[in-house]
Amino acid sequence: MLDQVLQHLTALVSFDTRNPPRRIGVGGIFDYLRAQLPGFRVEVTDHGDGAVSLFAVRGAPEVLFNVHLDTVPSSPAWTGDPLALRVTRSRAIGLGACDIKGAAACLVAAAQASRGDAAFLFGSDEEANDARCIEAFLKRPHGFGHVVVAEPTSGEAVLAHRGISSVLLRFKGQAGHASGADAIDSSALHQAMRWGADALAFVEGESHRRFGGLTGLRFNIGRVEGGIKANVIAPSAEVRFGFRPLPSHDIDELHARLGGLADVGALERYEETFRGPSLPAGDVAEAEERRLAARDLADALGFPIGNAVDFWTEASLFSAAGLNALVCGPGNIAQAHTADEWVSLSELRDYAEAVRRIIAGNSRAGP
């Protein structure tokens, strides 16, 4: 089916679904998908602000396939038009080809090559860390107990990954002349730097924690802003940081520990701006039970089982809602979000054939 996959991927890449700026409507790529899925019951829903979902069902499948259609913005480092698919002897190159329109093309090709029951949920808000499409779907009666979320995993089933949390910190100080004796304690930037040093030490202390092949706590201070000039005590400072916990971490406890490292008198604001749970969701015992259930699902569907990964996916949202969830798609995460992003032709072929086989089996392979 590789020729059919590349035909669909050429079309999908040509639609501009860069996010931001999130100018994604109910037409365009969604009109194309609707036209390629005759015999499916199709619902297209606009959730606002560029978040659009397409839910397509044929028959009464037990397994739902989910894939996002939005991409990151393209960079000036691209050597060709990012919206024009280029195919070499071994690669398909284009914006979103790896993350993750390649999987979407495989789903369509597999559906057209089989008459079995199938269900697809396409969304357009994953790259914005918004998740309106999936949240809306999970609020409705849907009847699914199993879901395969497509992300670049080289065609292997990923059963566990880290969660994610993004935070805005704001410190307050007292402006004044930098020659003052109180400059050390009055500067909001100094408070931010002290917090940063303590936070890094705390994270290093979590290096012994483990779950399903993952080790430690991932942490990054991504942006620090504040101050006026070198001889003025900084009256304010803002820090944006993020961390990626293990399934065995308690995110609320981590927030309490990290927020508690700041001087109470200097901390003006601590706000979590985004949270995504780990996969599997739940406490340690629940997570391990769900990981084993996902392994059984991968075996039943015929997906080889890969290692746990450090990146976050929306599979954790399905898991938190009680579905048996795993991550599996063509492409390598090392190529995602890069200039001249590519996916191997062999992985596209193998993934499309695996999905075709599942659909031909009436998608009733769940345990």
229 neighbors 266 (Cβ within 8 angstroms) = no
Q: H/E/C letters for each residue in the chain? A: CHHHHHHHHHHHHHCCCECCCCCCCCCCHHHHHHHHCCCCEEEEEECCCCCEEEEEEECCCCEEEEEECCECCCCCCCCCCCCCCEECCCEEECCCHHHHHHHHHHHHHHHHCCCCCEEEEEECCHHHCCCHHHHHHHHCCCCCCEEEECCCCCCCEECCECCEEEEEEEEECCCCECCCCCHHHHCHHHHHHHHHHHHHHHHHCCCCCEECCEECCEEEEEEEEECCCCCECCCEEEEEEEEECCCCCCHHHHHHHHHCCCCCCCEEEEEEEEEECCECCCCHHHHHHHHHHHHHHHHHHCCCECCCECCCCCHHHHHHCCCEEEECCCCCCCCCCCCCCEEEHHHHHHHHHHHHHHHHCCCCCCC
Which of the residues 126, 127, 206, 314 is marked catalytic? 126
Distance in angstroms (rounded) separating the CA atoms of residues 29 and 110: 18
- Judge whether 271 counts as a catalytic residue: no
Please list the active-site residues. Answer: 126
